[in-house]
Structure 1
Amino acid sequence: MEIRDLQAKAAQIRMDVLNMIFRAKTGHTGGSLSNADIVTALYYRIMKIDPANPKAKDRDRFILSKGHSVESLWSVLADRGFFPKEELATFSQFGTKLIGHPNNKVPGIEMNTGALGHGLAVAVGMALAAKRDGAGYRAFCLMGDGEQAEGSVWEAAMAGAHYNLDNLVGIIDRNRLQISGSTEEVMGLEPLETKWEAFGWNVVSIDGNDMQALIDTLEAIPSAAGKPTLIMANTVKGKGVSFAENVPHWHHHVPNEHELSLALGELAATLESYRREGV
């Protein structure tokens, strides 16, 4: 996909997210909107995956460590054909496989996540296995910034550098808000880039809602031989919906009918503008 196509796809993913959460009357809205560009870039341009063979040995691995923001991932997996798109309507309903966190009973999900701080350690193991097996696949792990307060993240970071895992990519959805407010008020993280560099990672800081920047950065990996890469994806929580952006309340706010109509209208206009530019 070209950049405009990816931007349009991300807008559609955001619309899916809002519809899913509205129908289910539950979900994590803000983070799913902020990470939509990241998962779109990975699944439509960067990662080696095959929806027809989701367990292919040479597939790239993706772990959504910030598992509560799963709605965007469900939408992407359905759109890529890992399961029928009609199943999105069952999100968080009784008996569904599409629960509020990644569920490895669903094709395309590598591991159940939700307990923050666990994803990177597993990604380290996957990347290390690839190295030792002489395999060419990569491991990508998307973390939240509030998640950086978990000690297990830093244990995994130390291991990733120790084993020279340049096939490992950590991405932080740095939207600066968590469930109880600003990350810097809840548990100060800065200087976050310096900390990751001190742990031996190659750190690249970008606008995580800029599709061109995401593609340029991800396609350049590994940009430092023998080092894992940490992408500091500076994003806007609630991205794409003007009245939700940078509003802590939208962490898990369920839109009402009026809010949904306004939000879908904004995103539809965004989608149409990208389509016009691509003609």
Structure 2
Amino acid sequence: MAKPAKTDRKAVIEEMRKKQKSADRRRGTVIVAVCVLVGLGIIAAAVVPILLNKHEDSKLDNVALDKLGSAASVCQKTTTQKADGNQNHVPVDTPVTYTTAPPAFGAHWNQAGLAPASFSKKFYTADERPPLEALVHNLEHGYTILWYDQTIAKDSSAVDNIKAIARKFGDENYRDKFIAAPWLSSDEDGAKFPDGQHVAFTHWSAGGNGETDTTKQVGAFQYCSDVSGAALKTFMDTYPYTDSPEPDAM
């Protein structure tokens, strides 16, 4: 049999090279396409939950405060306790033991940037919550604090309602002195809420708007088994920021 001519071998080799290049291009295109799809998947995984949360937020933002969460009947009657600690400022980082869970009054820190907590921050998670000694200073300035325990913190629907409640309060008007903050474990914050109660409202009352007699000061407490915007609204109407030891302070 005759051997193929050199020109035939060159043609075969050239054809093989063309096929290899074509295969390489196809493989490269597939790899790029897969990378793009993976990238889009990663972006979607990050963005879609944010968009869904915003959509959920927008729905709750259209709900009136007194319609958020459960009915006011999930809350117990408000109680009061004689207050102390007015103007009792202790050095920052000095731990204070509070006799109630959560506190509504007592000794507290007083230092710019640490106490009281920012007027513009309305909702705190466990990772970012200021120390109790700073938040009690907020109470002295007329804030109402909604405290939620770990049971509520694990309930995404309940937390969504608390966040929606917090968004009802802006940072342009003193009447919006409100903070939602977690009540941490007994090792960190002390005693637990009463059995079956997972939310609490507290306010440091001067004993009436404009009252200057410190002996009339009381702490107001209301405990709830669930989140209730209706109960909170009534509580804050009863105890406005003006009914506090230092209503004109931020």
Larger of the two Rg values belongs to structure = 2
- With normalisation by structure 1, the TM-score equals 0.23
- With normalisation by structure 2, the TM-score equals 0.25
